[in-house]
């Protein structure tokens, strides 16, 4: 029994290690080895990896596993319960997700990791226009938080969705609600003023004094109208325009050899294999062309930093470089790159900044179709063939430009990006609207489109959502 537990823990450690590196082949090999020593953990990791790779297990798969795990194994049952709620949220099963989540915090308490599920459920309730139920759900959940420090942390992490909920109960919305979160941050007194969250606070305030800063755009109708109005004006006046969004992944363009390990992780995830340095440098250079030409930059806001950093404790902070995830390092890196470039005027002082997840709000189908009305032609760049997209856009003014999807090995976009760019340019005319959902390697299409006199928008994974494919994990929406 002891040997069985040792081997089980050993193979689980290897699975986590290789998953962190996005070495999926090695992950699969060790999952199979784990089966001999712990069949319940085998099925947990099989479902988990399948979910990450897009071959999503159903809620029933998770529930069946939960029922098979002995009640004495509370740790594994808690983790599986977490996945069950996530799956219900992804499936947009609002009623069952509310019930199961409340059962979970009744049994296990409301922990910091529950905040993402809580936000996801609030999103579902508001999508269903169940605003009073959302408010009642909020009060029920926060009543379960006993620790004052945890209460403040979760209040910060959930501040954006709570501001959104407030808009449905009040006609007035205070400008720059993100600034209000700093009062809670100051009261937390997190490890002194050197903490990254305080750095972000100072930087956001400096940017706000110098530029338009639309960080409340995911719930502020005024900010949504401001951005969509600027895009519409550019289309109507045939003025070249570029909107680029920067998440943690975009740090790939600036990390260099110092963080080659992180770059390999991202390459394995995006394209299925590491890139040669020449190919890597080329697509990074194309990205930078879009970055430095942007008229609007979507940036990680304080809301995103609260999500990714508030869970760190003092020990984590003191051993910062060792415990930071690839995502956290990327987030910190892209923020500091942006601030440095802005202060050294490598980025135009006229640039407008907005929240980097703005596409989830402003690039939904109704808004996109309205923008398309003013463009002589719209080109949609994505991995999808014409047929599924054509069913959504009946206008004859739409063209579809297909590129390779993720993890295609040597046929992936980075190896052929110049050929695709040339083909795309042959379709473009000044004044066209170009919607790009092509991953990191396709960000250079935005610069090419702007150089051709077009309005180029980084719509990202919204192309998937137009077609009903929910390809992002819940974390990408909260």
Note whether 427 and 376 are same-domain residues. yes
- DSSP character string of 249-295: GGGGGT-GGGGHHHHHHHHHHHHSSPPPHHHHHHHHHHHHHHHHH-S
Number of compact structural domains in the chain: 2
**Is 193 among the domain residues?**
no
Note whether 173 and 258 are same-domain residues. no
Q: What is the pLDDT of residues 90-143, one digit of tens each?
A: 888 999 999 999 999 998 888 888 998 999 999 999 999 999 999 999 999 999
Q: What is the pLDDT of residues 59-98, one digit of tens each?
A: 999 999 999 999 999 899 999 999 999 999 988 899 999 9
- Which candidate, 389, 373, 405, places its Cα nearest to that of 467? 389
Strand partners, 378: 398, 433
Residue 5: exposed, middle, or buried by beta-carbon count in 10 A (0-12, 13-18, 19+)?
exposed
Note whether 321 and 419 are same-domain residues. yes
**Is 196 among the domain residues?**
no
Q: Residue 59 maps to which CATH number?
A: 1.25.40
Q: Say which residue the tokens 């290897």 belong to.
A: 14
Note whether 397 and 426 are same-domain residues. yes
Question: How far is the C-alpha of 358 from the C-alpha of 16, rounded, in Å?
Answer: 32
**Is 440 among the domain residues?**
yes
Single residue among 153, 188, 223 that ends a domain in this structure: 188
Residue 477 is predicted with a pLDDT of 54
**Is 199 among the domain residues?**
no
The pTM is what?
0.87
| Residues with pLDDT less than 70, the chain | 53-55, 171-174, 191-194, 257-258, 312-323, 470-478
Q: Which domain holds residue 103?
A: 2-188
Note whether 56 and 11 are same-domain residues. yes
- Could you tell me the CA-to-CA distances from 217 to 212, 402, 461 in Å, in that order? 12, 30, 18
Note whether 177 and 216 are same-domain residues. no
Note whether 174 and 278 are same-domain residues. no
**Is 194 among the domain residues?**
no
Q: Tell me the two tokens of residue 449.
A: 């489109």
**Is 45 among the domain residues?**
yes
Note whether 242 and 123 are same-domain residues. no
Note whether 172 and 211 are same-domain residues. no
Note whether 223 and 249 are same-domain residues. yes
Note whether 227 and 266 are same-domain residues. yes
**Is 240 among the domain residues?**
yes
Note whether 135 and 222 are same-domain residues. no
């Amino acid at each position: 029994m002891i040997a069985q537990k040792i081997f089980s823990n050993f193979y689980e450690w290897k699975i986590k290690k290789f998953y962190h590196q996005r070495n999926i082949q090695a992950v699969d090999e060790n999952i199979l080895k784990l089966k001999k020593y712990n069949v319940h953990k085998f099925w947990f990791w099989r479902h988990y990896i399948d979910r990450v790779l897009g071959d999503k297990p159903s809620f029933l798969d998770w529930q069946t596993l939960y029922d098979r795990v002995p009640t004495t194994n509370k740790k594994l049952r808690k983790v599986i319960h977490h996945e069950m709620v996530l799956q219900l949220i992804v499936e947009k099963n609002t009623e069952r997700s509310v019930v199961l989540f409340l059962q979970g915090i009744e049994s296990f308490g409301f922990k910091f990791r529950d905040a993402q599920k809580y936000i996801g459920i609030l999103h579902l309730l508001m999508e269903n226009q169940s605003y009073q139920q959302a408010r009642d759900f909020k009060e029920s959940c926060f009543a379960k938080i006993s620790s004052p420090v945890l209460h403040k942390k979760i209040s910060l992490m959930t501040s954006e969705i709570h501001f959104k909920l407030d808009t449905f109960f009040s006609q007035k919305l205070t400008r720059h609600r993100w600034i209000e979160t700093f009062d809670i941050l100051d009261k937390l007194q997190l490890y002194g003023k050197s903490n990254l969250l305080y750095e972000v606070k100072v930087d956001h305030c400096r940017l706000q004094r110098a530029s338009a800063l639309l960080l409340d755009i995911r719930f502020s109708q005024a900010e949504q109208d401001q951005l969509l109005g600027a895009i519409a004006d550019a289309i109507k006046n045939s003025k070249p325009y570029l909107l680029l969004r920067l998440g943690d992944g975009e740090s790939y363009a600036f990390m260099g050899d110092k963080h080659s390990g992180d770059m390999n992780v991202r390459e394995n995830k995006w394209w299925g294999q590491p890139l040669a340095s020449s190919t890597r440098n080329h697509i990074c250079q194309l990205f930078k062309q879009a970055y430095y030409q942007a008229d609007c930059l979507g940036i990680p806001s304080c809301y995103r930093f609260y999500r990714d950093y508030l869970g760190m404790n003092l020990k984590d902070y003191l051993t910062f470089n060792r415990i930071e995830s690839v995502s956290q390092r990327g987030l910190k890196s892209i923020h500091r790159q942006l601030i440095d470039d802005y202060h050294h005027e490598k980025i135009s002082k006229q640039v407008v900044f907005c929240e980097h997840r703005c596409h989830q709000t402003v690039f939904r189908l109704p808004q996109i179709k309205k923008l398309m009305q003013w463009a002589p032609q719209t080109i949609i760049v994505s991995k999808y063939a014409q047929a599924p997209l054509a069913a959504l856009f009946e206008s004859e003014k739409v063209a579809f430009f297909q590129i390779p999807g993720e993890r295609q090995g040597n046929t992936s976009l980075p190896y052929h990006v110049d050929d695709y760019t040339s083909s795309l340019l042959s379709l473009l005319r000044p004044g066209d609207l170009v919607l790009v959902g092509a991953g990191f390697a396709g960000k250079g299409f935005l610069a090419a489109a702007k150089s051709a006199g077009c309005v180029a928008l980084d719509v990202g994974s919204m192309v998937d959502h137009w077609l009903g494919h929910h390809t992002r994990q819940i974390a990408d929406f909260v």
